[in-house]
């Protein structure tokens, strides 16, 4: 498409994919604290119906086992579960134990035990340790947003892409800007990364009107993610962020506000699966949020900030069809600080399980550089098909 | 030759307008200092807009009508329900667009753009987000009704005005937060149709006041403080003339005595006796004077004017002035002007899309004629006005704005803008009038070699020195 794009594509490229560099990983971050007890209701827990009152999910067509079901919004995800491509995790949490969204997200993404522990993200720090290191990092990892979320920020250059309603700038102007930026490495790198991502996503325009619903563009984003990840020389790691999960008031139960959002998420993940085509079989998608919500309903038919929640691991490469949860129970005495679902699984253990088995990262790298001081959080085995 | 005039107009102000660099050159600091003293009449652009109570009524009436017709048609069809929901939005959408147009007309035309930047700064500190339906057209009224009138007053008054504003109360759900031992909760429990539902508190407003508006996340409060402060705040609500909660003046702050949790509460170790509405005012007054609040506010100001990594000395200095002056904002803002590192010649701050668009429009003195045109620029560049999406407000560090795709979008927008305005301006003159001595030789050369005026404008706007301040 552009002069710069052409120059970039003339650089060495490894067209022949092999098993080691074929794996795709997508991280979906739900910002605002997803209510795990609504997304994956523990209907078989004797405390659930009573504690949850009018917010308890009672439409239980998507039963996973005698204890858990998927929210009725998750029709496509349930099909993935039946196809043994979905692992549902529950009572998970990052090491964060306070209740600020913003610190919670920072810690989830920086991979430490402190919101200010690091200024870069664990998914950026892991890049040099992956078998793709012979390729330009901005072609390996891409954020499906205009700006790069913390989890993917850092020393390694990464790409970013978002739907655009603007006409593309002409290549002559872009060449002149590349020259103008030659004494400004930050802008020069950003421009080059953007152009290569734009080439691969198939251009930016014609994505339709921007809708107000924060999940409204998820279909466009998921399609583009598939196009970026599917090719043999395409990206291998993508991050998608979705806001709007902070359901303090009127969150609904079998239908309503949260149901609608979960349904949009379910559809978006299905779009991503379709868009990936055959590459789906080599893909693992992880859906995470910064923390969960209170077990009890608050005074405005919603829930306040809590602690543990659920998480999903889905994809053709996932050894699925099961729930991974060391269930702490919802009895009042079992709750964290008497109000929240007690965390029993460290999210870092899940990340490590995926990064080692799927992306072939070394556990020593993960314990030291990627998730500093995390050796107590052992990788969970068996999440990925052998 | 100094570039203090460039810094005053671009780093402190919202970007130099044609001729402004020369006007300011004699006394850049004096130009800034006179802007932060005293009150100003409400800008005429705002006078034409409906106030928060009027906006609230428009929203409520439209919502009631939709519910009425929904009941009559007994529609269970989700598509139909969605349409009705969009119709409610439509009722307030024109007001929102007019507010956006007014805000940016003021920003482009202002001859006191440092003051205007501070208005934006405080609006962002006390962020509400217009992506919540009830708040769509209330968000703009918070800036005009609670921020502008208190810009040269005390932080305490600013805080009290913001937390009792309908936009904040509705955004953080406090209108329906009800004390479990309040009269309303007890009466509700006896209702036949209560169906086991209990009225109770919602922690949202209490938590965000502590975490974001005053002490800061490490300011030393606990979950117990959040909960007891939430009880203190019960009753802080909005008047309404309909339904079971009909009381007070519609759309205005209203203290619902019957929703207030009775009794004393302890917040941050201090006991606050029962005092109805006054109980929360007492807590807010103490929070405003708390040393952690001084440090929290100082850190954000220093980050905004000096660097993404706020230098500790500068933070200490501003926090001291904040404490010593009991949060008198004119003194605090003056202390920012007086910080030596704020005058470093390097442009350390990467412009947000908001700053980028406003400084562009100021450089050529252009206000797009249609509200939709103004709105579209911010939408395309990823910063729709009044929609930070969370109570933390828009981020104020480059890492959240300088993504590769964001840069490309900015370039594409600049190209479109260049096409539109190129024929009417001389790019080198615009560059000189906007960036003065900080225009680099490299950028000047690139502009002078451009194939068209349109391309020249694009290169200026996308240049490293125009992208930063």
DSSP string for A292-306: -BBSS--TTSS--B-
- Residue holding tokens 């001291």? B320
Amino acid A8: pLDDT: 39
Ranges of residues in chain A with a pLDDT under 50 are 1-19, 204-214
Of B200, B390, B409, the CB nearest to A299: B200
The CATH number of A24-168+196-370 is 3.40.720
A193 touches chain B (CB under 8 A): yes
- The confidence score (pLDDT) of residue B245 equals 72
Task: Inspect the interface and report whether the beta carbons of A173 and B443 lie closer than 8 Å.
Answer: no
Task: Specify the 3-state DSSP secondary structure of A63.
Answer: strand
Own/partner pairs for B197-200, CB < 8 Å, 24+ apart? Answer: B197/A53, B197/A54, B197/A301, B198/A53, B198/A299, B199/A299, B200/A297, B200/A298, B200/A299
Q: For residue A148, which residues of chain B lie inside 8 Å, CB to CB?
A: 399, 403-404
**Other CB atoms within 10 Å distance of the CB of residue A360:** 15
Q: Give the pLDDT score at A376.
A: 93
Query: CA of A246: which chain B residue's CA is closest?
Result: B390
- Mark which residues 129-148 of B lie under 8 Å from A by CB: 131
For residue A301, the chain B residues in CB contact (below 8 A) are 197
Say yes or no to pLDDT of B441 above 90.
yes
Q: Do A54 and B89 touch (CB under 8 A)?
A: no
Predicted TM-score (pTM) above 0.90: no
Rg of chain A over Cα atoms, rounded to whole angstroms, equals 21
- pLDDT, tens digit (0-9, with 9 covering 90-100), for B190-243: 876 666 677 899 999 999 999 999 999 999 999 999 999 999 999 999 998 877
pLDDT in tens, B154-197: 999 999 999 999 999 999 999 989 999 999 998 888 876 666 67
Q: Confidence band (pLDDT; 50, 70, 90) for B79?
A: low
Three-state DSSP class for residue A224: helix
Residue A201: strand, helix, or coil: helix
Q: How many CB atoms lie within 10 A of CB B460?
A: 27
- Residue B87 touches chain A, beta carbons under 8 Å: no
- β-partners of residue A87 are A313, A322
Chain B hits for A150, Cβ within 8 Å: 399
Query: What is the pLDDT at residue B257?
Result: 95
Whether B330 has its CB under 8 Å from any CB of chain A: the answer is no
H or E element at residue A88: strand A86-93
Per domain, the residue ranges of chain A are 24-168+196-370
Give pLDDT, residue B64: 83
Q: Do B403 and A147 touch (CB under 8 A)?
A: yes
Number of A to B CB contacts under 8 A, please give it. Answer: 176
Q: Does A261 touch chain B (CB under 8 A)?
A: no
**Is there a contact between B144 and B120 (Cβ–Cβ < 8 Å)?**
no
Rounded to whole angstroms, the Cα distance separating B6 from B2 reads: 9
Q: What is the pLDDT of residues A340-350, one digit of tens each?
A: 999 999 999 99
Determine contact, residues B455/B418, Cβ cutoff 8 Å: yes
How much is the pLDDT for A79? Answer: 98
Q: Is the dihedral of CA A173, A178, A184, A190 positive or negative?
A: positive
What is the overall mean pLDDT for chain B?
A: 93
């Amino acid at each position: 498409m552009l002069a710069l794009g052409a120059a970039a594509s003339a650089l060495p490229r490894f067209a022949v994919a092999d098993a080691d560099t074929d794996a795709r990983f997508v991280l979906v971050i739900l910002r605002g604290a997803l209510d795990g007890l609504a997304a994956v209701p523990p209907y078989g827990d004797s405390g659930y119906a009573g504690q949850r009152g009018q917010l308890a999910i009672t439409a239980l067509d998507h039963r996973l086992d005698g204890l858990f079901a998927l929210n009725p919004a998750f029709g496509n995800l349930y099909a993935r579960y039946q196809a043994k491509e979905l692992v549902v995790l529950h009572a998970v949490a990052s090491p964060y134990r306070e209740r600020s969204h913003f610190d919670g997200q920072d810690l989830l993404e920086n991979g430490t035990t402190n919101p200010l522990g690091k200024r870069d993200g664990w998914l950026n720090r892991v890049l040099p340790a992956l078998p793709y290191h012979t390729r330009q990092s901005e072609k390996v990892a891409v954020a499906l947003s205009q700006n790069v979320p913390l989890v993917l920020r850092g020393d390694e250059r990464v790409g970013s892409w978002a739907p655009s309603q603007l006409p593309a700038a002409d290549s002559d102007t872009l060449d002149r800007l590349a020259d103008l930026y030659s004494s400004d490495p930050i802008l020069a790198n950003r421009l080059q990364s953007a152009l290569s991502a734009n080439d691969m996503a198939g251009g930016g325009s014609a994505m339709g009107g921007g809708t107000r619903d924060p999940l409204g563009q998820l279909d466009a984003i998921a399609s583009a993610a598939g196009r970026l990840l599917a090719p043999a020389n395409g990206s291998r790691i993508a991050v998608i962020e979705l806001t709007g999960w902070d359901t303090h008031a009127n969150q609904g139960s079998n239908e309503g506000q949260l149901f609608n959002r979960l349904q949009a998420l379910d559809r978006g993940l299905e779009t991503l699966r379709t868009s990936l085509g055959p590459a789906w079989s080599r893909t693992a998608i992880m859906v995470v949020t910064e923390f969960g919500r209170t077990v009890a309903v608050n005074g405005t038919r919603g829930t306040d900030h809590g602690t543990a929640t659920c998480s999903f691991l889905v994809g053709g490469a996932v050894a699925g069809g099961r729930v991974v949860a060391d269930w702490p129970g919802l009895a009042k005495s079992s709750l964290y600080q008497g109000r929240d679902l007690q965390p029993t699984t460290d999210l870092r253990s899940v990340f490590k399980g995926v990064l080692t088995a799927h992306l072939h990262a070394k556990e020593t790298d993960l314990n030291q550089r990627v998730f500093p001081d995390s050796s107590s959080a052992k990788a969970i085995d068996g999440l990925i098909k052998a | 030759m100094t570039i203090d005039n460039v810094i005053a107009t671009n780093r402190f102000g919202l970007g130099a307008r044609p001729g402004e660099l020369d006007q300011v050159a004699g006394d850049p600091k004096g130009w800034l200092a006179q802007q932060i003293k005293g009150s100003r009449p409400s800008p005429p652009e705002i006078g034409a807009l409906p106030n928060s109570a009027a906006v609230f009524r428009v929203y409520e009436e439209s919502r009631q009508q939709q519910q009425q017709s929904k009941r009559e048609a007994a529609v269970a069809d989700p598509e139909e329900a969605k349409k009705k929901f969009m119709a409610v939005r439509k009722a307030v959408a024109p007001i929102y667009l007019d507010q956006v147009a007014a805000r940016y007309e003021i920003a482009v035309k202002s001859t006191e753009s440092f003051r205007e930047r501070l208005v934006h700064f405080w609006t962002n500190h006390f962020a509400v987000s217009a992506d919540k339906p009830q708040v769509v057209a209330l968000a703009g009224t918070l800036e005009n009704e609670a921020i502008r009138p208190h810009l040269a007053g005390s932080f305490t008054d600013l805080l009290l005005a913001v937390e009792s504003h309908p936009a904040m109360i509705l955004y953080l759900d406090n209108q329906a937060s009800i004390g479990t031992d309040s009269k309303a909760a007890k009466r509700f429990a006896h209702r036949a149709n209560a169906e086991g539902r209990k009225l109770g508190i919602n922690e949202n407003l209490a938590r965000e006041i502590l975490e974001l508006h005053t002490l800061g996340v490490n300011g030393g409060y606990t979950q117990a403080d959040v909960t007891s402060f939430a009880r203190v705040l019960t009753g802080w609500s909005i008047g309404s003339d309909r339904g079971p909660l009909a009381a007070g003046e519609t759309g205005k702050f209203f203290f619902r005595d019957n929703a207030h949790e009775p009794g004393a509460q302890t917040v941050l170790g201090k006991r606050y006796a029962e005092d109805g509405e006054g109980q929360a005012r007492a807590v807010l007054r103490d929070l405003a004077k708390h040393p952690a609040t001084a440090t929290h506010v100082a850190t954000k100001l220093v980050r905004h004017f000096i660097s993404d990594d706020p230098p500790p000395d500068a933070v200490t200095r501003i926090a001291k002035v904040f404490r010593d002056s009991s949060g008198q904002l004119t003194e605090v803002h003056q202390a920012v002007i007086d910080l030596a590192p704020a005058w470093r010649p390097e442009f350390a701050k990467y412009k947000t899309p908001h700053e980028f668009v406003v400084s562009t429009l100021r450089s050529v003195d252009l206000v797009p004629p249609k509200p939709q045109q103004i709105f579209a620029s911010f939408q395309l560049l990823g910063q729709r006005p009044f929609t930070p999406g969370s109570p933390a407000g828009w981020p104020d560090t480059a890492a959240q704005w300088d993504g590769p795709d964001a840069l490309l979008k900015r370039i594409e927008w600049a190209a479109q803008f260049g096409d539109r305005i190129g024929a009417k301006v001389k790019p080198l003159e615009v560059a000189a009038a906007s960036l003065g001595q900080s225009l680099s030789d490299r950028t000047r050369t690139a502009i002078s070699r451009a194939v068209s005026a349109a391309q020249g404008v694009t290169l200026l706007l996308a240049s490293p020195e125009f992208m930063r301040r």
